[in-house]
Amino acid sequence: MNQNNRIFDGLGRVMNEAAGVADGVRREVETVVKSQAHRIVADMDLVKREDFDALRELVQVQGEEIDALRKEIAALKGAADTI
């Protein structure tokens, strides 16, 4: 019986070590995949979301200013036509 316990203890230790090695391999693979993904995204020269949102807001404000200036020009043309 004592021999069986040693076998099971040894088998348990081997399985724990294998699980530790598998976890280490998993972490290493995750690190490699993340670094490759970051490299690919950096190579794509993508715009950050914050920069996109800021530019979109700026374009919207400028569009509103252009509309206001067009109305002002139309009003000035109308005033000049009546003179």
What is the model's pTM?
Answer: 0.48
DSSP characters for the chain?
-HHHHHHHHHHHHHHHHHHHHHHHHHHHHHHHHHHHHHHHHHHTTPPPHHHHHHHHHHHHHHHHHHHHHHHHHHHHHHHHHT-
Tens-binned pLDDT, residue by residue, of the chain (83 aa): 677 788 888 888 889 898 989 999 999 999 999 999 999 988 898 889 999 999 999 999 999 999 999 999 999 998 877 76
